[in-house]
Amino acid sequence: MSLSRVHSGTLHGVDALPVEVEVNSISSGDLFRIVIVGLPDTAVRESSDRVLTALTNSGFRWSGTRLTINLAPADVRKEGPIFDLPIAVGIIALEEPFKPGALDKCSMVGELALDGRVRPVKGILSLALQARDAGHKAILVPEENAMEAAIVEGIYVYGVPDLRSAVALLKGEGNIKPVRLDRETFFREKRRYDIDFSDVKGQAHAKRALEVAVAGGHNLLMLGPPGTGKSMLAKRLATIMPVLSEAEAIETTKIHSVAGLVDRRTGFIATRPFRAPHHTISDAGLLGGTSNPVPGEVSLAHHGILFLDELPEFRRSTLEVMRQPLEDGNVTISRAAGKFTFPSRFMLVAAMNPCPCGYLGDTRRECRCLPVQVERYRQRISGPLLDRIDLHIEVPSINYKELSSDAAGETSEAVRARVEEAREVQIQRFIGHPGVVTNSAMPSRLVREFARLDARCESLLEHAMTELNFSARAHDRILKVSRTLADLAGADQIREPHLLEAIQFRTLDRNLWG
């Protein structure tokens, strides 16, 4: 046999595309030569040395003096070492018979060590989904990636430790069994958090604001002196969000797998991600990028929380680039390697001090900042970004009595139950309005339809806009938050208490600091 074909796949963004590995052998002179074509990158071209050494050390031989390896389709760029295993199997198939139809029914990916061991690769979940959708019955993956791939229903997943085991399996001689997974038990066990909302002492107002933010999908900004618990609150926000559905969990895991961040011992992400990049992060680190684009922090936070601590310390240009993902729920990156779109539907939570020294308004420590310094500090926040934040809340210093109290706070489970009830109301409300599932996503026309005020509330809001010096952008934000407060209270209409509480959640617009 002078030509063999092996099915594999390549990553493109967070998805995978099918690739057929064709191996042809001929005898042409005494000098051995191997050629790889089909838009391979450097890692793929280097695979020839790895593969041939792994074949030799595993006891396999080949007779031809020229090997041509084509990765089809030829117009799709191929990256990484994931083709080592299919290339090696294709070479072996030229010399040894496999079980009839074995290569036609399965796909395979994996990097080879020089001794023939199969090393784990990135993006295995996307590759397994692609193999299933292409109609393959089975996929051979590195043993360490098998648990992650087994999440995919409708395809047999075989974890192979080395090249010889893979060949034996394809010959029908191996004793490797497909990895089986009790999906219901697996998801139940993985949906656990190590932290809880009840860990936070005091800060009742802030906790209430977080509940409202999650219930309506609103972005949130916390303001307060250092050490008041802003980061602690933010980290526990994911625990009161609705439970991650199976479809959301698979989508989230795909992104983290492509980025190489999946814990190979557990093989899956079943809790809401929490990402907290440092304020020195680059635009590419936040959005995704480099010459071969990988997901950035806004995509790694998909279906979860993106927490920006010390918000004014971020570069203004970096904050500006978040406008597209906040509006569209995805980010598109164009590079020489192609155009890539990564999902990025996250909840933005930010925190900042009230002034450069951090103690403006603190009753315990004196602020030494001049008014002009405070104003300059606050102006570091991008106006367009602030437009997309519905709630601004103060997180004051906590007193010793609250801090030392043994009283147990409300658990995440109890808060999450209320959040899920409010979310269900919104899901039913927005049936027939594609792309809108929470109150925060309502465009102006839906705000007018679903957040109407009676005469009393209209008068109250008008007074607030005038007397409290609200900015124009605050109007719709207040109405959206009021709608969420009414949903949490089980009310059909927005009432005065809901409107008053929503007004309290606009700290920056109330111009409290001068």
The whole-number pLDDT of residue 403 equals 65
Please give the helix or strand (H or E) that residue 331 lies within, else none: strand 330-335
Based on the fold, state whether residues 151 and 235 are members of the same structural domain. no
The whole-number pLDDT of residue 513 equals 41
Q: Tens digit of pLDDT for each residue in 92-150? A: 999 888 998 899 999 999 999 999 999 999 999 999 999 999 999 999 999 999 989 99
> What percent of the chain lies above the pLDDT cut of 90?
55
The whole-number pLDDT of residue 328 equals 84
Q: Is the pLDDT of residue 512 over 50?
A: no
Based on the fold, state whether residues 98 and 233 are members of the same structural domain. no
What span, in angstroms and rounded, lies between the C-alpha atoms of 454 and 486?
14
Residue 165 burial by CB count (10 A; 0-12/13-18/19+): exposed, middle or buried?
buried
Q: Tens digit of pLDDT for each residue in 341-379? A: 899 999 999 999 989 998 887 778 888 899 899 888 988
Q: Is the pLDDT of residue 29 over 70?
A: no
Tokens of 37: 């074509």
Task: For 268-296, give one letter per residue: b (16+ CB within 10 A) or e.
Answer: bbbbbbbbbbeeebebebbbbbeebbbbb
The whole-number pLDDT of residue 186 equals 78
Q: What is the mean pLDDT of the chain?
A: 88
Based on the fold, state whether residues 254 and 376 are members of the same structural domain. yes
What span, in angstroms and rounded, lies between the C-alpha atoms of 498 and 482?
5
Choosing from 349, 382, 407, the residue where a domain stops is: 407
In a domain, 513, yes or no: no
DSSP for 210-256, please give it. Answer: HHHHHHHT--EEEE--TTSSHHHHHHTGGGGSPPPPHHHHHHHHHHH
Stretch among 206-215, 392-401, 444-453 having the lowest mean pLDDT: 392-401
Do 280 and 314 touch, CB atoms closer than 8 A?
no
Tokens of 415: 């808060």
Tell me, what CATH number does 295's domain have? 3.40.50.300
Phi, psi of 419 (to 5 degrees): -60, -45
Based on the fold, state whether residues 303 and 161 are members of the same structural domain. no
Please give the helix or strand (H or E) that residue 377 lies within, else none: helix 371-378
What span, in angstroms and rounded, lies between the C-alpha atoms of 302 and 297?
9
Based on the fold, state whether residues 22 and 162 are members of the same structural domain. yes
Confidence band for 404, pLDDT divided at 50, 70 and 90: low
Based on the fold, state whether residues 134 and 267 are members of the same structural domain. no
Q: Tens digit of pLDDT for each residue in 287-325? A: 887 666 788 999 999 999 999 999 999 988 888 888 888
In a domain, 458, yes or no: no
Based on the fold, state whether residues 308 and 365 are members of the same structural domain. yes
Q: Is the pLDDT of residue 475 over 90?
A: no
Average pLDDT over residues 408-425: 93
Residue 39 burial by CB count (10 A; 0-12/13-18/19+): exposed, middle or buried?
middle
Q: Tens digit of pLDDT for each residue in 235-247? A: 999 999 999 988 8
In a domain, 150, yes or no: yes
3-state secondary structure of 323: helix
Confidence band for 495, pLDDT divided at 50, 70 and 90: very high
- 446 compared with 336, residue with greater pLDDT: 446
3-state secondary structure of 489: coil
Based on the fold, state whether residues 322 and 403 are members of the same structural domain. yes
In a domain, 337, yes or no: yes
Average pLDDT over residues 213-223: 95
In a domain, 380, yes or no: yes
The whole-number pLDDT of residue 324 equals 82
- 42 compared with 499, residue with greater pLDDT: 499
- 130 compared with 65, residue with greater pLDDT: 130
CA-closest candidate to residue 51, choices 77, 23, 26:
23
Based on the fold, state whether residues 15 and 151 are members of the same structural domain. yes
Domain of residue 147: give its range. Answer: 3-170
In a domain, 463, yes or no: no
The whole-number pLDDT of residue 417 equals 96
The whole-number pLDDT of residue 458 equals 92
The domain tally of the chain equals: 2
In a domain, 107, yes or no: yes
Average pLDDT over residues 490-505: 93
Choosing from 407, 427, 461, the residue where a domain stops is: 407
Based on the fold, state whether residues 125 and 265 are members of the same structural domain. no
Tell me, what CATH number does 118's domain have? 3.30.230.10
**What are the CB-based long-range contacts (under 8 Å, 24+) for 183-186?**
183/151, 183/153, 183/246, 186/151, 186/268, 186/270
Choosing from 371, 387, 407, the residue where a domain stops is: 407
Q: Which are the contacts of 10, defined by CB distance < 8 A and separation ≥ 6?
A: 16, 17, 19, 71, 76, 77, 78, 79, 80, 82, 83
β-bridge partners, 138:
106, 156
Based on the fold, state whether residues 216 and 346 are members of the same structural domain. yes
In a domain, 122, yes or no: yes
Q: Is the pLDDT of residue 45 over 80?
A: yes
Based on the fold, state whether residues 367 and 286 are members of the same structural domain. yes
